[in-house]
Structure 1
Amino acid sequence: MSTSRTVDRAFETALYDTADHALDTAASLLAADPGADAELDRRGEEFVATAWRRGWQPADLVRIVRRELDDVHLRLVARLIRAQAPHDRPRGPRWAAQLDAVPEGSAAPRADRFSHATAVLELYRLLLRLPTLEPLETGGAEENGRRTPREARPESRALARIRALLAKAEATGYPEEAEALSAKAQELMARHSVDEALLSAHAPAPDTPGACRIGIEAPYEQAKAVLLDAVADANHCRAVWNEALGFSTVVGFESDLEAVELLHTSLLVQAEAAMTKAEAVQRAGGRKRTKTFRQSFLAAYAHRAGARLRAAAEAATAEAGGAGDVDLLPVLASREVAVTDRLERMFPETTTTRLRGAGDAAGWTEGTRAADDAEVGRRRPLR
């Protein structure tokens, strides 16, 4: 039997039948034919290329495999992504950064041929059933009659400073210092956004909104999604949460998307650290750790931080506008319209959801206090 026929038979047996015995039968077929390995890898690269056509990106694929399967499958998909990349078309700087972040796929040695074949088939089952996602890519410049992605731009000094400030805020053990560092970071973000908006407004070919996906990891996904929504809103972006697949899609202009990614990650780190300290105090007072305490803590943190983010962004934007000769309002309004238009074209139907499991009073109080400590506005917290 040809190696291609072996793989065909294995796929017919296992990929379209989810029963365990079908998987065992197919894995036995592949384990008995060492010559089928190369063809099996080639088919895997085809599955990856199909995922790209369905709107998935490297970070999405890594995230869904990590979420649904095990480390062995993560190593396998990482190897397939890297193997397929040289045969793919250029897709821009964000895609290239995701490829660079794909974990190394050459980890633990195979235990035996049957176990390896089983893992491969389990991975391919998942890849085969991936749904189609909203495409994130937008057209770039015209070159020889075809669309090409925009060129990568070096990181601005403002973003480098923002990154450094947030790293210090995460590392410090003093809430007041974290507050001051985060405040300065948000101020720089707002001013950087204004600068980018004005540059784009006077450019021969103004920028158009883009989009990215940010993973919302378990546990307490809903509260984390609310925090991301607040960060996005304060930075002229919009976020839509896909609960089933564990990510939010954020729509906005590139400089604002970068700010959202940085600030959301930093606030999560600060929230987790503050929650750990608050739980220690609760336990010292005789209370056990509870899921409702943590859920309420993060929900309150997201609510409070969101309000202060918006206030800080509005204050910094107003100051930047008052210091210049150009009226910012028409520029920012046109960008908001562009973001909303892109969002509605990507997601013509969305719905709202009620935050669940946030009924613990102590958790809510401590989460609010932690958000005050991590305040990103320029005013002192209200007491």
Structure 2
Amino acid sequence: MDDALAAALYMDGDASLDAGASLLAADPAADAELSRRGEEYLRRAWERGWQPVDLIRLVRRDLDDHHVRLLSALITAESARYENLAPRWRAQLADLHPTGWSVDRFSYATAVLELYRLLIRLPSIEPVGPVPGAPFVPQSGYEPRMLSRIRALLAKAEATGFPEEAEALTAKAQELMARHSVDEAALPGHARDTPSACRIGVDAPYETAKAILLDAVASANRCRAVWNGAFGFSTVVGFESDLESVELLYTSLLVQGTTAMARAEASQRAGGRRRTKTFRQSFLMSYAGRLGERLAVAAESVPVASDLLPVLATREVAVSAHTDEMFPRTTSTRVRGVSDEAGWLDGRAAADAARVSEDRRRLTG
């Protein structure tokens, strides 16, 4: 086992990988120890700040589907030994669907070693929660009934083909989120809550526009977002209920934007245009930028009682301080790459259609 792992994991190239896989394929008795080593590598990953969803995202990006299945089974087996798991960790485990993979022993050993090679080379990243088995303090979040209402509204907004209906549904969801955030801050029992963090995937293509959209949603919900382009995620820092708002709203707006982009692109193609990539990039950049403007206005329009303003200000300072503690060194970059005017105009129009602020108008007649 030591010879196989030394050859495959700590040396580069396919030759060393084949040598390690050949040793393992020739010895069926090594399977149990191979699984134990994999669980050990997973534990190291947890201690370096990684979580199940992070590893699944990275393996899906850098390896193949059968590696994702192997990793899902390994995570499920390794996590079964812990009694204390934070709610977000349990939710990530619930999303795993490990399935079998029938293949010859050499191919199986090769895939396992490719997965282990990725795991042992992971760097340390900023932790966003306790490692499995460690004690944790539960944070307040949405009540199940409120969460179900918000999810239902956003699901309808994503499914409808009528922009006006999507506007109304998304606006109602944002209104519920804003009210819940203010109500949470007003409860005396939540005064001792502290900011936490979560990671949200920002996948290619057009990841810059997606990161900008996520940043806009986070800012509107009293959170801060820091993008890690190398690993395809943003870390969002805030209070638990606000983090849930960011996850829900970002996912919904991304779905709505992608759907609107497909319709606009079809219209452009019907007119004889073929600049698909530049159109999409310009569309999503415009969509994200315009939504940032509208979300900022919506956030400022939420009524707040005067006696709650100091509480909200204190929470905002706490979020900023926690972000600076997690990320003492961040960089800013200039966004480039918008070159398609039609894409920009259509993206801005789609952002206006995905309005998230409540529009109060006098009805006559």
TM-score by length of 2: 0.95
Q: CA deviation at 1:357?
A: 1.5
- SS of the equivalent of 1:203 reads helix
Check the 8 A contact 1:90/1:149 in 2, yes or no: no
What is the CA–CA distance in structure 1 between the aligned matches of 2:149 and 2:297, rounded to whole Å? Answer: 21
Check the 8 A contact 2:141/2:244 in 1, yes or no: no
**Corresponding position of 2:123:** 131
**Corresponding position of 2:363:** none
Check the 8 A contact 1:79/1:106 in 2, yes or no: yes
**Corresponding position of 1:107:** 100
Structure 1: gaps of 5 or more residues: 1-6, 140-145
**Corresponding position of 1:142:** none
What is the CA–CA distance in structure 1 between the aligned matches of 2:287 and 2:211, rounded to whole Å? Answer: 12
Q: 1:87 aligns with which of 60, 70, 81?
A: 81
Check the 8 A contact 2:153/2:173 in 1, yes or no: yes
Q: 1:165 aligns with which of 149, 153, 157?
A: 153
Q: CA deviation at 1:160?
A: 2.1
**Corresponding position of 1:177:** 165
Q: CA deviation at 1:89?
A: 4.9
Q: CA deviation at 1:378?
A: 2.0
- SS of the equivalent of 1:327 reads helix
Q: 2:20 aligns with which of 10, 16, 26?
A: 26
In the TM superposition, what whole-angstrom CA distance separates every residue of 1:343-362 from its partner, at most 9, and x where no partner exists? 00000010112222212111
In the TM superposition, what whole-angstrom CA distance separates every residue of 1:36-58 from its partner, at most 9, and x where no partner exists? 11100110011111110111111
Q: CA deviation at 1:287?
A: 0.3
Structure 2: gaps of 5 or more residues: 361-365
Q: CA deviation at 1:74?
A: 0.5
**Corresponding position of 1:224:** 210
Check the 8 A contact 2:184/2:190 in 1, yes or no: no
- Does the alignment pair 1:13 with 2:7? yes
What are the within-5 Å matches in structure 2 for residues 1-383 of structure 1?
7-102=1-96, 104-109=97-102, 111-137=103-129, 147-150=135-138, 155-199=143-187, 202-203=188-189, 206-316=192-302, 319=303, 321-322=304-305, 327-379=307-359
The one-letter amino acid of 2:118's match is L
Q: CA deviation at 1:157?
A: 3.0
**Corresponding position of 1:4:** none
Q: CA deviation at 1:329?
A: 1.3
- SS of the equivalent of 2:226 reads strand
Check the 8 A contact 2:278/2:339 in 1, yes or no: yes
The one-letter amino acid of 1:73's match is H
What is the CA–CA distance in structure 2 between the aligned matches of 1:61 and 1:204, rounded to whole Å? Answer: 32
- SS of the equivalent of 1:282 reads helix
Q: CA deviation at 1:134?
A: 0.6
What is the CA–CA distance in structure 2 between the aligned matches of 1:157 and 1:114, rounded to whole Å? Answer: 50
In the TM superposition, what whole-angstrom CA distance separates every residue of 1:194-237 from its partner, at most 9, and x where no partner exists? 001111xx227621000000001111011000000000000000
What is the CA–CA distance in structure 2 between the aligned matches of 1:373 and 1:205, rounded to whole Å? Answer: 37
What is the CA–CA distance in structure 2 between the aligned matches of 1:356 and 1:214, rounded to whole Å? Answer: 23
What is the CA–CA distance in structure 1 between the aligned matches of 2:329 and 2:48, rounded to whole Å? Answer: 19
Deviates more, 1:8-17 or 1:152-161: 152-161
Check the 8 A contact 1:187/1:312 in 2, yes or no: no
Q: What is the total number of aligned residue pairs between the two structures?
A: 359
What is the CA–CA distance in structure 2 between the aligned matches of 1:363 and 1:299, rounded to whole Å? Answer: 9
What is the CA–CA distance in structure 2 between the aligned matches of 1:167 and 1:255, rounded to whole Å? Answer: 19
Q: CA deviation at 1:147?
A: 4.0
What is the CA–CA distance in structure 2 between the aligned matches of 1:375 and 1:122, rounded to whole Å? Answer: 45
What is the CA–CA distance in structure 2 between the aligned matches of 1:267 and 1:361, rounded to whole Å? Answer: 22
Give me the identity figure in percent.
64
Aligned pair in 2 of structure 1 residues 153, 211: CA closer, same or farther (>3 Å)?
closer
- SS of the equivalent of 2:242 reads helix
Check the 8 A contact 1:77/1:123 in 2, yes or no: yes
What is the CA–CA distance in structure 2 between the aligned matches of 1:26 and 1:134, rounded to whole Å? Answer: 33
In the TM superposition, what whole-angstrom CA distance separates every residue of 1:113-145 from its partner, at most 9, and x where no partner exists? 110010011000000001101111269xxxxxx
What is the CA–CA distance in structure 2 between the aligned matches of 1:313 and 1:284, rounded to whole Å? Answer: 38
- SS of the equivalent of 1:213 reads strand
CA RMSD of aligned residues (A): 1.8
